[in-house]
Amino acid sequence: MVKEPLDKSGRGARNHDVYAPRDAGKESGDSGFTHLPVLAAQVVEVFRNHQAQSGVIVDATVGLGGHSQRLLDELAWIHIIGVDRDLDALELAHTRLRSYGSRVRLTHGTFSTLAAAVAPATAVAGVLADLGVSSMQLDDPERGFSFRFDTPLDMRMDRSSGSMTVSELLESVTVEDLTRLFRQHGIGSLSSRYASAIKSALPFHTTGQLGQIVLEATPMRLRHGRIHPATKVFQALRVRVNDEVGELTQFLPTAFSLLECGGVLQVISYHSGEDRLVKRFMRLIETGGCLCSPRLGCTCGATPAGERIVRHGFVPDDEEARANPRSRSARLRALKRTRSDVSGVIDRYWDQVATWQG
Ligand SMILES: C[S@@+](CC[C@H](N)C(=O)[O-])C[C@H]1O[C@@H](n2cnc3c(N)ncnc32)[C@H](O)[C@@H]1O
């Protein structure tokens, strides 16, 4: 089953390899967590239409193995390298995918260590990232992702990393930092009110307490909307504690560089902040990073290195949105690599990306 640790990232990683055949038909595997992979039909179709040589697809957010299972069932020519930063998720993916034997290799790693995690593979047919948290992480009270339970405020996707929990983060940030974070996550004029209420209520350590503090800091007329007032606060803290912006910033060029020519990168995002970064990255690759005025024409010698597949991406139809409410805010974007040398355009990305944030 789970083999000896094989630490590619230097962070106590475990590697899971080849498994004997077994039933893997259930949507939830043996985990007890129900999970419907979002926009799965579209993900499969894009890879089907861009069958590249190696046949290796990296599922960089293997999670509960939902997308991987669908891809393995529908595309007989592929092998999957499944990566996740969450060891609990890898255990569940292992159970769900073991019937596919040597077609699957599961590895512990993060976006920022992706190249090491998928080594020795260096040129793959596809990379998929389904961003954010899984239903398992949200629904497991012990993980501290949700105010539906009253449990320690943790929210780390990788509890083996020794990184900061939300509880520790709240102790260490200033009211100004917290206000800025909330503003970046669309909390608007209530940002400083929430930040002050949270900081002055410390010390507290549970999700239930944080939910209650935010609720009490919310003006009465806004307390009973469709969405709980603490939803965005929890999302902002989760994004910060897992460095999701930094991870995505690293992931995009790394994943694109891993593709063989003709291979495809697919990314599903769930909020405008991450979708904006994905869109800008894909546009940069398509234009070669050219910043010349369209009126005067390009004089900088930029060379396009990819092509977007479906310009505005895919969103769930009504049927999927009804069947799987988590999919409602999802957008899938896909980009095909069209050049073998992408080093120039990746350099341009690193020059430009710092000006995109905030
Ligand atoms: C939305 S879930 C993926 C669900 C999966 N597609 C499925 O169908 O079961 C996102 C997963 O990505 C993982 N993840 C998020 N950020 C990551 C990162 N920077 N590096 C590696 N894994 C990450 C999370 O731990 C989580 O398991």
Q: For ligand 1, atom 25, which residue shows the shortest CA distance?
A: 86
Q: Are the beta carbons of 258 and 123 closer than 8 angstroms?
A: yes
- Looking at ligand 1, which residue's alpha carbon is closest to its atom 14? 61
Whether residue 151 lies inside any domain: the answer is no
67 lines ligand 1 (CB under 6 A): yes
* Mean pLDDT score across all residues of the chain: 90
Same domain, residue pair 26 and 123: yes
Model confidence over 167-219: pLDDT tens digits? 999 999 999 999 999 999 999 999 999 999 999 999 999 999 999 999 999 99
Model pLDDT, residue 281:
98
Q: Compute the average pLDDT of residues 127-154.
A: 93
237 with 269, same domain: the answer is no
SS3 at position 16 = strand
Residue 18 pLDDT > 80: no
Same domain for 310 and 185: no
Using the 3D structure, point to which of 209, 241, 273 is the last residue of a domain.
241
Kindly state whether residue 7 falls inside one of the protein's structural domains: no
Answer yes or no: do 223 and 132 share one domain: no
Same-domain pairing of 116 and 81: yes
Do 296 and 283 lie in one domain? The reply is yes
Q: Is residue 49 part of a domain?
A: yes
Q: How confident is the model at residue 316 (pLDDT cuts 50, 70, 90)?
A: very high
Residue at which a domain ends, from 241, 273, 295: 241
For residue 234, pLDDT beyond 60: yes
Angle CA 200–191–184, to nearest 5? 130
Q: Is the CB of 110 under 6 A from ligand 1?
A: yes
* DSSP string computed for 294-351: TTT---S-----EEEEEEEEE---HHHHHH-GGGTT-EEEEEEE--S--HHHHHHHHH
Question: 66 labelled as ligand-binding?
Answer: yes
Closest ligand 1 atom number to CA of residue 136:
27
- Whose Cα sits closest to atom 5 in ligand 1? 63
Distance 68 CA to ligand 1 centre (A): 12
> Quick check: CB of 132 below 6 Å from ligand 1?
yes
What separation in Å is there between the alpha carbon of 251 and the centre of ligand 1?
A: 13
Three-state SS at 81: strand
Q: Is 53 annotated as a binding residue?
A: no
Whole-number pLDDT of residue 294: 87
Q: How many CB atoms lie within 10 A of CB 266?
A: 27
- The CATH number of whichever domain residue 338 belongs to comes to 3.40.50.150
Which range among 9-13, 48-52, 126-130, 149-153 shows the weakest confidence by mean pLDDT? 9-13
Q: Do residues 249 and 342 share a domain? A: yes
Residue 147 lies in a domain: no
215 and 275 in a single domain? The answer is: no
pLDDT digit string, tens, across residues 49-103 = 999 889 999 999 999 999 999 999 999 999 999 999 999 999 999 999 999 999 9
| 53 found inside a domain | yes
Residue holding tokens 């890898």? Answer: 90
Which of 13-22, 115-124, 191-200, 269-278 has the least mean pLDDT?
A: 13-22
Hey, which of 85, 94, 266, 278 would you mutate to test ligand 1's pocket, going by the most ligand atoms within 8 Å of its Cβ?
85
At 163, which CATH number? 1.10.150.170
Q: Do 236 and 258 fall into the same domain?
A: no
Residue 141 lies in a domain: no
Is there a domain that residue 144 lies in? no
58/126 same-domain check: yes
What pTM value is reported for the model? 0.90
23 and 54 part of one domain: yes
In this prediction, residue 16 has a pLDDT band, given cuts at 50, 70 and 90, of very low
Residue 220, classed as helix, strand or coil, is helix
If asked whether residues 323 and 251 sit together in one domain, one would say: yes
What pLDDT is stored for residue 4 in this prediction?
28
Q: How many residues does the chain have?
A: 358
The residue from 196, 221, 241 where one domain ends is 241
Angle between helices 244-258 and 272-287 (to 10 degrees): 30
63 Cβ below 6 A of ligand 1? yes
Asked whether residue 178 is domain-assigned, the answer is yes
Q: pLDDT digit string (tens) for 250-295? A: 999 999 999 999 999 999 999 989 999 999 999 999 999 999 998 9
From ligand 1's centre to the CA of 94, what distance in Å?
A: 14
140 is in an annotated binding site: no
With residue 135 as reference, give the H or E element that holds it. helix 135-139
Residue 288 Cα to ligand 1 midpoint, Å, equals: 29
> In the prediction, which pLDDT does 33 show?
60
Centre of ligand 1 to C-alpha 199, Å, is 30
Residue 196 near residue 175 (C-beta atoms within 8 A): yes
Interval 39-43 mean pLDDT: 98
Residue 13 pLDDT greater than 50, yes or no: no
| Overall number of domains in the chain | 2
pLDDT value, residue 34: 62
The whole domain housing 225 covers 159-241
